[in-house]
Amino acid sequence: MESVKFKQVVIAVLGFILLGAFVVVGYVESMRRIPDAKPHIVVSRENEKCISCHEQQSNARTVAEQWRASTHAKRGVGCLECHRADAADMDAFVHYKQTIATVVSPGDCAQCHPNEFDQFQRSHHAQAGKILGSLDNVLAEVVEGHMPVVHGKRLESPAAVSGCKQCHGSAVKPLLDDSGNKVYRDSGVLVLDSDTWPNTGIGRLNPDGSLGSCAACHNRHYFSAAQAREPDDCGKCHLGPDHPQYEIYRESKHGINFIAHKDEMNLDAHPWIVGEDYVAAATCATCHMSATPNQPVTHDVGERISWTLRPPISEKVDAVALKQGKQVMPWQERRSNMKDVCVQCHSQQYVESFYEQYDDLVGLYNYKFGEPATDLIKGLKANGLITADIAFDDKIEWTYFYLWHHEGRRARMGASMMGPDYTQWHGMYEVADRFYMEFLPEVREAIEHGHDGGNASGAAASQAMLDEIMARDEHLWIQGKVSVEDKAARDAAAEEFRKRYAGSE
Ligand code: HEC
Ligand code: HEC
Ligand code: HEC
Ligand code: HEC
Ligand code: HEC
Ligand code: HEC
Ligand code: HEC
Ligand code: HEC
C-alpha cells in the first residue's frame, strides 16, 4: 500500500515537472528569438513565420531586413502588429492562416501611437487627398490628361495617378472584376486597384476611413524619426515650380549650415530638442514639427504657420475657418509657437525683425499684383469677355496661373524661409514681368475683342476697372507718370551708383 502511494506521489510530481517543462518550453517557443537576429529581438511565433519566410523571398527580403534594423523590431513590434486585419475589412485576405492586409493605415498605427494619429488627422496634411474638383485637378484630368469611359467605368487619368496623387494621396480600393467581385492572385494575395495603389500620398483615403499615410514621411520598414528629421524627407513633395520649399531651404543659411554641420545635429537623439540636443542648424522638422524646451513634437504642421501662401491672395491661415464659423488655433498663437523655435538660436529682436520683413513682402505681393490681377480676371469673366465656365481655354488664364500659382508663391515662400533668390529672381521679378508684359496686354486685348464683338458694356466695365488700377501710385511708373519728387530721388540714386562704380574701375 505504502509503495503504491509512494509511486503515485512520484508519478504526480513527475507529471507536474513535465507539465511545467511543457509550459516553459511552450513559452520560450512562442517568444523565441528569431534565428540570426540581433539578440534582443523577441517576437511572437506567428511573426517569426512571416519573417523567416519573407527573408527567403528574394523580392521581399528588404522588408524583413529594414524591419530588423528598426526600433519596432527591438521593441517586439512584429509584422502582424501592423498587418493584422479583421476578416470584415475591405482589403483583408488570408495569408498562411493569418488574416492580414497589405495597406497599413494611420488607423493601424493609432493602436500604439494615438497622439501622433490625432494630431495628424486634424492637420492640413491629412486633408490633402481632397483636391478633387480643384482648379489644379482640371489640369491633370482634362488639360493634360484624359478620363475615358470604358465598359461603363470612368478610367482615372494617368497624369493624376502618377502625379498629383503620389503626393496628395489616392482613394485606395481593391480591384473589382466585371461582376463586382474582388480579385486575388494565385497566392491568395488580394489585388488592389492599380489606379489607386501603390501610393503613400500625405492625404490618402484609406479603406478603413482614416486619412493619409504615416509612411509618407516614415519610410517603411525603418519607421525612423531620425530619417523624418532630414530635409530630404519633406523634399519628396515640397519642391518644384509651385512650392519650392526644398530648394529655398537649400539656398538658405539654415540649409547651408545643415550640410556643413550635419555631424553635430545629433539626429538620432530621443527626444530631439532644439537648443539642447543641437544648435548648428534648423531642418524642416525643427521649425515645423520637432520639440523645443517649451513645446512637444507636433504632427500638425499647421500649428506654427500664420499665413497661407498658397492662394492667389494670401490670407492668415485661420481666415477660412473663421469665415465658416469654426474654432481653430488663432494665427497669433501659431506664430508665437514658431518664434519659440527661432529664439532657441536667435535673439528676440532678430526674429521680430525677420517677421516684419516677411509680412511686408507678402503685403507687397498681395496689393500690387495678387489683388489687382484677381479682380481683373474675375471682371473679364463676369463681363463676358472670356469664358467663365471652362478653365484654361483662354491664354490669359494660363498667364494668371503662372502669376499667382508659380511665381507669386515662389516670391512669398522665398521670403518666409530666407531664400532671397526665390523671393527676387524666381519670384517678384517674374511676377512683375508676367503682370506688366503679358497679363495687362492680354486684359487690353480681351477688352478690345469685347468691343469689336459687340459687348460694349462688358468692355467698358473692365476698362473702368483697369483704369482705376493703373491710376494707383504703384503702377504709375509704367505709364511714365512719375511725380517730380520720385523722379529727382531716382536720378540722384542713379548718379550715386554711377560714381561708385566709376571709382572702382
Ligand atoms: C511561407 C512563406 C510566407 C509566409 C509564412 C508569409 N508570407 Fe507574406 N508573402 C509571401 C509571398 C511569396 C508573397 C508574394 C505573393 C504574391 O506575389 O502573390 C507574400 C506577400 C505578402 C504581402 C502582400 C504584398 C502585396 O503585394 O500585396 C504581405 C503584406 C505579406 N506577405 C505579409 C506577411 C505577413 C504579415 C506574414 C505573417 C503573418 C506573412 N506574410 C507570412 C510569403 C510568405
Ligand atoms: C510598423 C508597422 C509595420 C510593420 C511592423 C511591418 N509593416 Fe509591412 N508595411 C507597413 C506599411 C505602412 C506598408 C506600406 C503599405 C501601404 O500602406 O501602402 C507596408 C508594406 C508591406 C509590404 C508590401 C510593400 C512592398 O514594398 O512590397 C509587405 C510585403 C510587407 N509590408 C511585409 C511586412 C513583413 C514581412 C513584416 C515583418 C517583417 C512587416 N511588413 C512589418 C507597415 C508595417
Ligand atoms: C503594437 C504597437 C505599435 C504599432 C502598431 C506601431 N508602433 Fe511605432 N512604435 C512602437 C513602439 C513600442 C515604439 C518605441 C517607442 C519608444 O521607444 O518610445 C515605436 C516607435 C516608433 C517610431 C520612432 C522610432 C525611431 O526609432 O525613431 C516611429 C516613427 C513609429 N513608431 C511609427 C509608427 C508607424 C508609422 C506605425 C504604423 C505604420 C507604427 N509606428 C505602428 C509601437 C508600435
Ligand atoms: C511633388 C508633389 C506634388 C504634386 C505632384 C502635386 N502637388 Fe499639389 N501640392 C503639393 C504641396 C507640397 C502643396 C502645398 C504647398 C504649400 O503649402 O506650400 C500642394 C498644394 C496643392 C493645392 C492647394 C491646396 C490648398 O489648401 O490651398 C492644390 C489644390 C493642389 N496642390 C492640387 C494638385 C493637383 C490637382 C495636382 C496634379 C495636377 C498636384 N497638386 C500635384 C505637392 C504636390
Ligand atoms: C510630415 C511628415 C510626418 C508624417 C506624415 C508623420 N510623421 Fe511621425 N514624425 C515626423 C518627424 C519629423 C518626427 C521627429 C520629431 C522629432 O524631432 O522628435 C516624427 C516622430 C514620430 C514618432 C516618434 C515620436 C517621439 O517623440 O519620439 C512617432 C511614434 C511617430 N512619428 C509616429 C507617426 C505616426 C503614427 C504617423 C501617422 C499617423 C506619423 N508619425 C506621420 C514626421 C512625420
Ligand atoms: C507625400 C507628400 C508630402 C510630404 C512627404 C510632406 N508634405 Fe507637407 N504638404 C503636402 C501637401 C500636399 C500639402 C498641402 C495640403 C493641402 O493644402 O491640401 C502640404 C502642406 C504642408 C504645410 C502647410 C500646412 C498648413 O496647415 O497650411 C506645411 C507647413 C508642411 N506641409 C510641412 C511639411 C514638412 C515639414 C514635411 C516633412 C517633415 C512635409 N510637409 C512632408 C505634402 C507633403
Ligand atoms: C528656420 C525655420 C524653418 C525651416 C528650416 C523651414 N521652414 Fe518652412 N516655414 C518657416 C516659416 C517661418 C514659415 C512662414 C510661417 C508663417 O506664415 O507664419 C514657413 C512656411 C512653410 C510652409 C507654408 C507654405 C504655405 O503655403 O503657406 C511650408 C509648406 C513649409 N514652410 C515647408 C517647409 C519645408 C518642406 C522645409 C524644409 C525643406 C521648411 N519648411 C524649412 C520656417 C522654416
Ligand atoms: C537650430 C538653430 C536655429 C534655429 C531654430 C533657427 N535658426 Fe536662423 N539661423 C541659424 C544659423 C546657424 C544661421 C546662420 C548664421 C550665419 O549667417 O552665420 C541662421 C541664419 C538666419 C538668418 C539669416 C539669413 C541670412 O541669409 O543671412 C535669418 C533671417 C534667420 N536665421 C531667421 C530665423 C527664423 C525666423 C527662425 C525661426 C522661424 C530661425 N532662424 C530658426 C540657426 C537657427
* Residue closest by Cα to atom 41 of ligand 3: 109
Give pLDDT tens digits for 88-123: 999 999 999 999 999 999 999 999 999 999 999 999
Which residue's alpha carbon is at the smallest distance from atom 15 of ligand 4?
Answer: 243
What residues line ligand 5, using a CB cutoff of 6 Å? 106, 109, 113, 116-117, 120, 125, 214, 216-218, 225, 228-229, 270-272, 285, 289-291, 297, 299
Q: Which protein residues touch ligand 8 with a CB less than 6 Å away?
A: 253-254, 257, 274, 279, 281-282, 286-287, 338, 341-342, 344-346, 351, 354, 418
Query: What atom of ligand 8 comes closest to residue 281's alpha carbon?
Result: 1
- Within 10 angstroms of residue 150's Cβ, the number of other Cβ atoms is 8
User: How buried is 421 (Cβ within 10 angstroms: 0-12 exposed, 13-18 middle, 19+ buried)?
Assistant: middle
The single-letter code of the amino acid at 452 is D
Residue 505, pLDDT above cutoff 50: no
The pLDDT tens digits for 358-399 are 999 999 999 999 999 999 999 999 999 999 999 999 999 999
| Per-residue model confidence (pLDDT) at position 16 | 58
Give 331-357 pLDDT, tens digit per residue.
999 999 999 999 999 999 999 999 999
Q: What number of other Cβ atoms are within 10 A of residue 204's Cβ?
A: 27
- Determine the distance separating the centroid of ligand 7 and the alpha carbon of 302, expressed in angstroms: 10
Residue 43 to residues 32, 75, 159, Cα–Cα distance (Å): 7, 9, 42
Q: What is the mean predicted confidence (pLDDT) over 398-405?
A: 98
Q: Taking phi first (over 0 means left), then psi (-120 to 50 degrees means alpha), and beta for anything else, what does residue 315 get?
A: beta
Residues contacting ligand 6 via CB (< 6 Å)? 124-125, 127-128, 167-168, 201-202, 216-217, 228, 233-234, 236-238, 284-285, 288-289, 301-302, 305, 308, 317
Q: What percent of the chain has pLDDT over 90?
A: 78
CA 231/CA 290 separation, integer angstroms: 13
